[in-house]
């Protein structure tokens, strides 16, 4: 079953049960507690809280989501993408757990045809009714696990509606990991669907495992989230999420271009490239532009990581704009806003790739040397891979305290080469090193302070004429690195 068919089947199943289809909201949410839309329920928060009235008491949607918390794990788990689609059904006082639990089971086993013998469920540890609900429809007690708040008491991670949930998992079999259920191996026991019984209001503060509950919702509600890509992993019997039908053509294209690879994990790097270009394309189509902070920085960071992993794969010439085109092609049937913004998506990604490509080349050289020096000083062995810091391999046996790269190196990379510190941290971590980020922060603060003093001691605002000049002539580009060799001779 293709991704588009899974989505259509889901929405039909719930319209047959009197749900009204609501279009996806933008990835850019106006909810001040979050940067991006992270779940199907986000656009409905005012309905749960009764701040406004829903168009119907039963709604269903296919929602575009971006989760920044998952970015670091992309390619390392089988089940996370940065951008994903969440299918959901919502009840605002219309039905409760007794209806939604059997529906979810019926949908998975009868409409998607999943083997009931492979389904597992988790429930909130204090929910004594839901295990019986699962048992009544055929999930035996040994495939039901009770977990704590972090796993089975859902909230957006900040203030707002929350409640106990029950999650449904599919056992992909021993070739995908160890036994012991979802609590033991979340990649083998793949979480596909989360049913949340919204009842309470989460307050400020706390952690996901222990947060304050400050009130009850005006009425008990239900909301659910089924990852369409996760369902596709199971139905298409593929090893990981980036090999499902919507992503495979782009992944194959990246792998096809990977020559002279400088990584031992081409599949990992290719997955990061595809994943990040896809998320970046959707963000651009929803109006996010690359920038130095907030949403723009997340977008910029996604493109920069994609550039770095493309280079790791040995793809030296700009490639991301063409990949973004492919993302548009493979997704526009469901998401026409992508094709509507094709030119913008291409141009913005091409521009970022070009700008960062230069930084990466120059910064990487310095970083390589610094990493080698730090390793030598601490007696950490070189990884046995084909090349220095470009090798994204975990250092074997790096137990105990890992040696650190100096804060000054990180500062120099940032200051001279425009190399973002989070990238320095990431590359260093892959080489088994930490970064002295405290020292880095102190040097940054020192520099800011000097700049402040320079401004106040100068007469008038010297920036103004420069700004006017820059506006008239456009930004200047430093070409020294391209035109001069290290010893100063002109190329
Ligand atoms: P996991 O524990 O696997 O990270 P989650 O518990 O964080 O998932 P929920 O917040 O319950 O996920 O979201 C509901 C559903 O959305 C999940 O059951 C899953 O199908 C899907 N989902 C969540 N995060 C991702 C992601 N990064 N990529 C793809 N699908 C996702
Ligand atoms: Mg998660
Ligand atoms: Mg989970
Ligand atoms: Mg979950």
Domain boundary among 203, 218, 236: 236
- The number of distinct structural domains making up the chain is 3
Q: Are 237 and 245 in contact (CB under 8 A)?
A: no
Confidence of residue 403 (pLDDT cuts 50, 70, 90): confident
With respect to residue 320, please indicate whether it lies within any of the assigned structural domains: yes
Residues 194 and 80 reside in one and the same domain: yes
**144 alpha-carbon distance from chain centroid:** 29
Residues 196 and 266 reside in one and the same domain: no
Cα 130 to ligand 4 centroid, rounded to whole Å: 16
The domain of 442 spans 364-459
What share of the chain has pLDDT > 90, as a percent? Answer: 72
With respect to residue 286, please indicate whether it lies within any of the assigned structural domains: yes
Residues 231 and 266 reside in one and the same domain: no
Residues 265 and 211 reside in one and the same domain: no
pLDDT of amino acid 468:
55
Residues 295 and 378 reside in one and the same domain: no
With respect to residue 472, please indicate whether it lies within any of the assigned structural domains: no
Q: SS3 for 133?
A: helix
Q: For residue range 33-87, what is the model confidence (pLDDT) as tens digits?
A: 899 999 999 999 999 999 999 999 999 999 999 999 999 999 999 999 999 999 9
With respect to residue 114, please indicate whether it lies within any of the assigned structural domains: yes
Residues 54 and 150 reside in one and the same domain: yes
Phi-psi region of 157 (alpha: psi -120 to 50; beta: other; left: phi over 0): left
Q: What is the mean pLDDT of the chain?
A: 89
With respect to residue 474, please indicate whether it lies within any of the assigned structural domains: no
With respect to residue 49, please indicate whether it lies within any of the assigned structural domains: yes
Residues 228 and 329 reside in one and the same domain: no
CA angle 431, 436, 437 (to 5 degrees): 110
Residues 228 and 216 reside in one and the same domain: yes
Cα 227 to ligand 1 centroid, rounded to whole Å: 6
Residues in a beta bridge with 65: 84
Q: How far apart are the C-alpha atoms of 93 and 220, rounded to whole Å?
A: 6
Ligand 1 neighbour 278 (Cβ under 6 A): no
Strands 20-21 and 58-66: parallel
pLDDT of amino acid 489:
45
Ligand 1 neighbour 13 (Cβ under 6 A): no
Q: How far apart are the C-alpha atoms of 130 and 390, rounded to whole Å?
A: 49
Residues 13 and 37 reside in one and the same domain: yes
CATH at residue 154: 3.30.930.10
Question: Which residue has the CA at smallest separation from atom 27 of ligand 1?
Answer: 80
Residues 222 and 284 reside in one and the same domain: no
Q: Is it the case that residue 211 has pLDDT exceeding 80? A: yes
Domain boundary among 320, 343, 360: 360
Per-position DSSP letters for 365-419, written without gaps between them: HHHHHHHHHHHHHHTPPPPSSSSTTT---PPTT--SSPPEE-HHHHHHHHHHH--
pLDDT of amino acid 426:
87
Cα 69 to ligand 2 centroid, rounded to whole Å: 8
With respect to residue 478, please indicate whether it lies within any of the assigned structural domains: no
Q: Is it the case that residue 154 has pLDDT exceeding 50? A: yes
Ligand 1 mutation pick, 121, 208, 227, max ligand atoms within 8 A of CB: 227
Q: SS3 for 326?
A: helix
Domain boundary among 209, 236, 263: 236
Q: For residue range 266-293, what is the model confidence (pLDDT) as tens digits?
A: 999 999 999 999 999 999 999 999 998 8
Cα 353 to ligand 3 centroid, rounded to whole Å: 34
Residues 343 and 420 reside in one and the same domain: no
The verdict on ipTM greater than 0.95 is yes
Ligand 1 neighbour 31 (Cβ under 6 A): no
Q: SS3 for 92?
A: strand
Q: Phi/psi of residue 28, each to 5°?
A: -90, 105
pLDDT of amino acid 128:
94
H-assigned helices in 110-189: 130-137, 149-152
With respect to residue 140, please indicate whether it lies within any of the assigned structural domains: yes
Residues 342 and 267 reside in one and the same domain: yes
């Amino acid at each position: 079953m293709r991704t588009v068919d899974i989505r259509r089947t889901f929405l039909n199943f719930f319209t047959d049960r009197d749900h009204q289809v609501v279009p996806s909201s933008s990835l850019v949410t106006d909810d001040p507690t979050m940067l991006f839309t992270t779940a199907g329920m986000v656009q409905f928060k005012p309905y749960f809280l009764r701040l406004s009235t829903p168009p119907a008491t039963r709604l269903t949607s296919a929602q575009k989501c971006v989760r920044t918390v998952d970015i670091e794990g992309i390619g390392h788990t089988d089940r996370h993408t940065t951008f994903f689609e969440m299918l959901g059904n919502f009840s605002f006082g219309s039905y409760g757990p007794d209806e939604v639990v059997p529906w979810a089971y019926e949908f998975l086993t009868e409409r998607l045809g999943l083997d009931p013998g492979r389904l597992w469920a988790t429930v909130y540890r204090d929910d004594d009714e839901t295990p019986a609900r699962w048992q009544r429809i055929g999930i035996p007690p040994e495939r039901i696990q009770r977990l704590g708040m972090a796993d089975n008491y859902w909230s957006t991670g900040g203030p707002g509606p929350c409640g106990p949930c029950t999650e449904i998992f599919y056992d992909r079999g021993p070739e995908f990991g160890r036994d012991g259920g979802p609590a033991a191996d979340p990649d083998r026991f793949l979480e596909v669907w989360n049913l949340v019984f919204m009842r309470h209001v989460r307050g400020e503060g706390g952690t996901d495992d222990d947060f304050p509950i400050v009130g009850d919702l005006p009425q008990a509600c239900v909301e659910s989230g089924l990852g369409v890509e996760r369902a596709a992993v199971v139905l298409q019997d593929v090893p990981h999420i980036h090999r499902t039908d919507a992503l495979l053509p782009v992944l194959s294209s990246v792998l096809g271009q990977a020559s002279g690879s400088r990584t031992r994990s081409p599949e990992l790097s290719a997955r990061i490239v595809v994943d990040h270009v896809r998320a970046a394309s959707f963000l651009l189509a929803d109006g996010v532009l690359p920038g130095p902070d907030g949403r723009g920085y997340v977008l910029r960071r996604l493109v920069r990581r994609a550039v770095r992993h493309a280079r790791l794969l040995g793809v030296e010439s700009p490639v991301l704009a063409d990949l973004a085109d492919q993302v548009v092609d493979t997704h526009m049937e469901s998401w026409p806003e992508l094709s509507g913004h094709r030119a913008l998506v291409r141009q913005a990604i091409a521009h970022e790739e070009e700008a960062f490509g230069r930084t990466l080349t120059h910064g990487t050289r310095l970083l390589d040397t610094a990493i080698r020096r730090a390793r030598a000083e601490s007696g950490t062995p070189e990884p046995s891979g084909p090349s220095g810091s470009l090798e994204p391999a975990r250092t074997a046996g790096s137990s105990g305290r890992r040696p650190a790269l100096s804060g000054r190196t990180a500062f120099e990379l940032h200051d001279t080469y425009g190399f973002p510190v989070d990238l320095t941290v990431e590359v260093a971590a892959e080489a088994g090193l930490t970064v002295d980020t405290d020292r880095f922060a102190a040097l940054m603060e020192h520099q800011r302070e000097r700049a402040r003093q320079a401004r106040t001691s100068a007469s008038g605002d010297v920036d103004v004429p420069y700004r006017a000049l820059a506006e008239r002539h456009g930004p200047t580009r430093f070409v020294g690195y391209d035109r001069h060799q290290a010893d100063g001779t002109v190329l």
